[in-house]
A and B are shown apart, each in its own frame.
Chain A
Amino acid sequence: MTEPVRLLSVAPSPAFWVAVALYALAGAALLAVLGGKTKLRPLALGIVIAAFVAHGTDIGWRGTQNVHPAQSVREAIGFLAWLLTGGYLLTSLRYRFTLGGVVIMPVAVVLLVLARLTPAGEAAPDQLGALGRIHISLATLGVGVFAIASAVSAIYLAENRALKRKQFDAIAFKDRGAPLEALDRLAHRLIWVGFPIFTIALVLGAVWVSRLGHSLDRLEYPLAAVTWLAYATLLIARQVYGWRGRRAALLTLEGFACALAVLLIYLARRMVE
């Protein structure tokens, strides 16, 4: 039996471009909802669902072409956008989270285009073993969960600021933003979910890198550690000192900024090498 040829990436299926267009459209529709056209809400959410399905179809089709979503960072970024959209839809079941959608939809478009623009690169077949794939999968999932927590935290900060300054008609409150307490709790829970996933991804990544014989002095490794540290601090401080609200939201964003930096450095390296 011959081992199937593993490809790092393939040209996108038509569903991919449909997904990009739908993400953009959904972003515009959600913006309109936020602007007061509340009757459009079911339509806007419908477009998000359509985009999610189209994107999922593309990922599935890639699977049939022997491209695993965690085959390469490039694929993983697209997968991340898909996870974010899924997370947004899940959140929407419980809260009216229009502002979150307005943020996440353009992010999804940017991530997809970014993933297309970076070169696929080539990986030696022996380099990307099961270990590597699991590492990339878990890291993507963990960062995805942190991304949603960050979006929630950003909205928390916006609402908090508006409420403190008594700007009751601020953008954060358009289309009845979710209550502050609920946002705080949701972000906390998401970090609880994301943290163990991210931790395992980190450990596996370290093992994988050392197996490949690379040194650990690349910039992204300490940055990834900072991300982990930020979220660890957050969880402990909340448990022990009751840190929450504004401080917790800021720390969530800082941690996520580090995670994002790690991702960008990976991509930059791919482009250069």
Chain B
Amino acid sequence: MSELFVVGISWRTAPVAVRERLAFREEELALAVQAITARLPVAEVLLISTCNRVEVYGVAKPGSDAATAVRGFMIEQRKVKAADMDDVLYEYRGAAAIRHVFRVASALDSLVVGEAQILGQLKAAYRMADASGTSGPVLSRALERAFGVAKRVRTETSIARGAANVSSVAVELASRVFGNLAGKNVLVVGAGKMSALAARHLYASGAQRIVVTNRSPAKAEALAAEIEGVAKPWEQLEDHLVEADVVISSTGAREPILTKKLFKTVTKRRRYRQMMVIDIAVPRDAETSINELDQVYLFNIDDLDKVVQANLAERAKAAEHAGKIVEHEAGQFEQWLRTQDVVPTIRALREHFAQVADAEVQKALDQLARKEHTRDQQRELVQRVVQLVVNKLLHHPTAALRESADDATLRAAVVCELFGLEPGDADEVVAEPPQPEQAPDAPEHKKAQA
């Protein structure tokens, strides 16, 4: 019935060149989800589009193949060739879809396992679907549960612990020397791609005073402007070093520019205050021997990489445990969802029975009110009412059983199970005449009453 499905593409199945063709811009999202619910047999829908995945989470309208329809919609919307999408667009339904959503929220399906970014993106997508009116009871329950599972995974496993990229490792190491980056002077030597990345990370981690120096002043100016830093002339490198607590170096220089000779002067001038040098250049910018100087801590790209690898290995180990948590939670949720599916049926069944019974009882009461009945007439009336109710209730199931062709045995078995019948009883029911005016087993009732 209200089955959850997922149609999507991610870094697992397609390179960025393919993913970007299916991606939705933020301003397109609301329109897209509304179009899906308006045009397709989809009751509820959510669309998430990040650099690593484009996925549609939806709930199909009863009896429809919504997943296939959504797949077609994505292909048509993004104007891509259907044949190209065969291998890259995946689909999950029911239990598999629930498990997928839980895994995505818990960052188990992320490129870097445990990166919490996806959880925020998923929450934003959910808010967007909610605002667009395309979310519904099934999606909201599944997502709320997914967020809960993600929280559980984060607190119970070490999946999100330890920096997972070179820049965050640099920040983490800086915290071991300085504690807090606020109030520390950061010097970025070289304004290339790598230093820009690291500088942005330091800036995001609270570094407030950033100086950028570069051989070509224009590039230094550009990077400095972006991270609220100051560009300073390359010629006064020594002075900048004296001021700096954290140095990030990534120049294209062939020969080391941060030499031991230079650093001997620098450390003395800065009165041996602690200093951290992160050399992410290849070939290296700093002479290894500066690490021997007191209060100078030098890390090169390999040192940082080693930490990243160790942390990733740690995360992979945690991911196994996390996977088990997700598996367990998905199982529980699925079970719960299944019982939720049956509830409306039970309610409808009870209402239907009550309606039929009420209608016949009302008719009989009307008859009784219209004229005097003898006791025999009254008894006959009661018997007829019960008979009519039974006939009316059995009419539809009987017809359905008789009309069933392919699945006749299955239906018969279900009925037997539902009513606790022995196979012999079932035969009798099927053998009933099509429109029984008079109940054949009426005398039995009399006998039973007697």
> What residues make up the interface of A, taking CB atoms closer than 8 Å to B?
159, 163-164, 166, 168-169, 173, 177-182, 184, 241-247
Contact = CB atoms under 8 A, between A and B. Distances in A.
B177 A180 contact: yes
Contacts of A177: 176
Interface in B1-41: none
Given A166-B299, A168-B307, A243 B272 contact: yes
A173 B299 contact: no
Contacts, number: 50
A168 B176 CA distance: 10
Interface stretch (B80-88, B212-220, B289-297, B345-353): B289-297
A243 B294 CA distance: 10
Nearest to A95: B179
A18 to B, nearest CB: 36
Contacts of A247: 294
Given A166-B303, A247-B294, A242 B273 contact: yes
A181 B274 contact: yes
B310 interface: yes
Given A163-B177, A169-B310, A245-B295, A180 B274 contact: yes
Choose among B176, B274, B303 the residue with the greatest number of A CB atoms under 10 Å from its CB: B176
B295 A244 contact: yes
A164 B271 contact: no
B306 interface: yes
B178 A181 contact: yes
Interface of B: 173, 175-180, 270-274, 291, 294-295, 297, 299, 303, 306-307, 310
16 contacts: A163-B176, A163-B297, A168-B307, A168-B310, A169-B310, A173-B176, A179-B176, A181-B177, A181-B179, A182-B179, A241-B271, A244-B273, A245-B272, A245-B295, A246-B294, A247-B294
B173 to A, nearest CB: 8
Nearest to A178: B179
Contacts of B307: 168
Nearest to B180: A179
Shortest 9 CB-CB contacts between residues of A and residues of B: A242-B271, A179-B179, A245-B295, A180-B177, A181-B274, A246-B294, A242-B272, A166-B303, A181-B178
B189 to A, nearest CB: 21
Given A166-B303, A242-B272, A245-B274, 10 more contacts: A166-B299, A173-B176, A179-B175, A179-B177, A179-B179, A180-B177, A242-B273, A244-B273, A245-B272, A245-B295
A147 B306 CA distance: 37
A245 B294 contact: yes
Given A244-B272, A244-B273, A164 B175 contact: no
Contacts of B177: 163, 179-181
B259 to A, nearest CB: 19
Contacts of A163: 173, 176-177, 297
